[in-house]
Amino acid sequence: MSSQYPSGSFVRPPGTDPTRRRPRLSFELLGCAWNGHVLVGTDAATVSQDDALVVRDLDGDRRLHRCLRCDAWLMLPTPAEPARQRPADRDEIVLPTRGRPLKSRYVLRLIALTRVFNVLVLLLVLGGAIAVLVNQSTLRDDLLANAASLQIVMGGQAVGQLQGLLSGGAGPLWFIAAGLLVLVLLEGTEGVGLWRATRWGEYLSFVLTTLLLVPEALELTSSTSPGTIIGMVVNVGVVLYLLFSKRLFGVRGGAATVAAEREHDISWAALRRHLPDAAAPTRV
C-alpha cells in the first residue's frame, strides 16, 4: 500500500503511525472525541471534484467526508433533504484548531485549571477573612477566654499573632481581604485568558507567575516541604514554557513565528499535506 502513495511530503493523520514504543497522545482525536468531527457538505445536495479535499461522492447514495480536525474519512449517506445545493466555500469555513496550536491550547487549559483551583482556594480564604471581620469582637473575646488551651494546640506564637491581628482594629484585616480580592480577580482573568488561548493571557500569566516565584523562593529558604518544592518546580516550568514555547517578548521569533506555525498547521495547505499524492485532488 505504501508504494501506491510514495509522497515524501505526506503527513500521517493522527492515530495512524506505525506501532510506537511510547504511545503518543493525539490531541485532534481527543478534540473529536469531545466535540465531534468537523465535516463539510453533510447538508449539500451535490459535491464535485472541487470538493475532493474534504468530501467525495461514492455512488450517489453515499459520500466520504473528511474530518477537518483529525483527518479521518467517514462514510455517510447522501442527505435525503439537503439544506443547500453545494458545500460551503472555503472562505466560509472556519478551520478547527489542530497540530501544534491544538497541543498548545491543551497545555494552556491545563495551566488555566490550576488557576481555577487557586481562585477557589483564595475565595475560601477571602470568605474566612470576611467572616473574621464580621465577627471580630466575638472572636477576640473567645480567643481571650480560651487562650490557655489554644496555646497548647497552636503554640504561643501563633496565638499571639492572632490576638495582635484581632486587637489591631479592622484596618489590617480589610487590607488583607482587599489584597485577596485583587488576587482572585487577577488569577480569574489569567485563567480566562489562558483558557481562550489569548496572547494577553499568556503575557499576564507569565508576569503573575514570575512575581509568584519571588515569595516562593523566599519560602524555600525557611521551608523545604514537598508542597513548596513542587509548587516552585511547576511555576518555573510554566514560566519557561510560556517564554520559550509561546515565544513571548520576541523569544525564538516571537509572535511572527507563532503566526507562521499556526498558518502551517491550520490551513488548506496543511490539509493537503495530510493526503497521499495519489489520493490528492488536482485542486488544492
* Count of Cβ atoms closer than 10 Å to residue 34 Cβ: 7
Q: How far is the CB of 54 from Zn ion (least distance, A)?
A: 12
From the list 36-44, 126-134, 161-169, 240-248, the region that binds Zn ion by CB under 5 A is 36-44
- From 37-45, 107-115, 158-166, 230-238, give the range in contact with Zn ion by CB under 5 A: 37-45
Query: Binding mask 50-89 vs Zn ion (x if CB under 5 A, - otherwise)?
Result: -----------------x-xx-------------------
DSSP code at position 281: -
Place of cell 512575581: 211
State the minimum distance, in angstroms, from the CB of residue 105 to Zn ion: 16
Output the DSSP codes for 32-67.
HHHH----SSTTBS---GGGTTTEEESSSSEEEEE-
Please, which residue, 140 or 272, has the CB nearer to Zn ion? Answer: 272
Backbone torsions φ then ψ of 65, nearest 5 degrees: -110, 135
Nearer to Zn ion, 32 or 126 (CB): 32
The enclosing H or E element of 77 equals strand 73-77
Which of 67, 112 has the CB closer to Zn ion? 67
Least separation in angstroms between CB 250 and Zn ion: 35
Nearer Cβ to Zn ion, position 54 or 194? 54
Which of residues 70 and 112 has its CB atom nearest to Zn ion in the complex? 70
Count of residues that interact with Zn ion, criterion CB under 5 A? 5
CA atoms within 13 A on the CB side of 74: 17
Q: Judged by CB, which is closer to Zn ion: 74, or 88? A: 74
Q: How far is the CB of 198 from Zn ion (least distance, A)?
A: 25
CA distance 284 to 85: 21
**Rounded distance between C-alpha atoms, residue 105 and residue 195, angstroms:** 8
Q: Is 274 in the site for Zn ion (CB under 5 A)?
A: no
Burial of 246 (0-12, 13-18, 19+ CB in 10 A): buried
**Applying CB under 5 A, which residues contact Zn ion?**
32, 37, 67, 69-70
